[in-house]
Amino acid sequence: MAAPLLIEYLNRSKVLYKRTEHAVAYTAAEVAQTVHFHGRNFAKAVMVKVDEELSMIVLPAHYHVGCEELAKTLHAERVRLSTEEEFNRRFPRCEIGALPPFGHLFGVQAYIAPVFDEASAVAFTAGSHSEIIIMDFDHFSRLAHATPIQTGVLPPNQPYSRAYAA
């Protein structure tokens, strides 16, 4: 079931979107494959700790966070992947690993990598492992309230670091 807060927000914003159910899948790449959606435009939310502040990084399904590069981009001393225990209470009624990429709805600063195909639709998990939302990228970009970052997100097959301390 989709996160009620997300659905209420999308409805209040009066944007067109499509809710689609699918077989249970746990990673963004698996979901994208299951729903036959190009991974480059399947947005996933990765939770990180920037110094001691919880933040969300929005990136395509097959990309990953480069903590060292992200620390430099955000002028932080340390960036690391967050643990489930650090963020799960912030996302009520969302299944862990299926967070919608709208950090501001949950009181979390969000950053987005400008590597999506802006001419295509974007899909993302709706708070569950069996439902997604599909919408125009323009609407998604406007409603996500995410700050663009130029580095700190790495394409598939590029090595990455899990944490960085200056």
How confident is the model at residue 165, as a pLDDT? 40
Q: Which position has the higher pLDDT, 162 or 138?
A: 138
The matching CATH number, chosen from 3.40.718.10, 3.90.960.10, 3.20.20.70, 3.40.50.150, for 4-150 is 3.90.960.10
Q: Are 34 and 25 in contact (CB under 8 A)?
A: yes
Which candidate, 105, 158, 157, 153, places its Cα nearest to that of 127? 105
Which candidate, 47, 48, 45, 49, places its Cα nearest to that of 61? 45
Q: Count of residues for the chain?
A: 166
Residue pLDDT, tens place only, 18-53: 998 877 877 777 777 777 787 789 899 999 999 999
Q: Is 37 helix (H, G, I), strand (E, B) or coil?
A: coil
Report the C-alpha gap between 135 and 122 in whole angstroms: 6
Give the start-to-end residue ranges of the domains of the chain: 4-150
Residue pLDDT, tens place only, 142-165: 999 999 998 888 877 665 555 444
Residue pLDDT, tens place only, 87-123: 988 888 888 888 999 999 999 999 998 889 888 999 9
Quick one: tokens of 76? Answer: 């932080």
Report the C-alpha gap between 32 and 69 in whole angstroms: 26
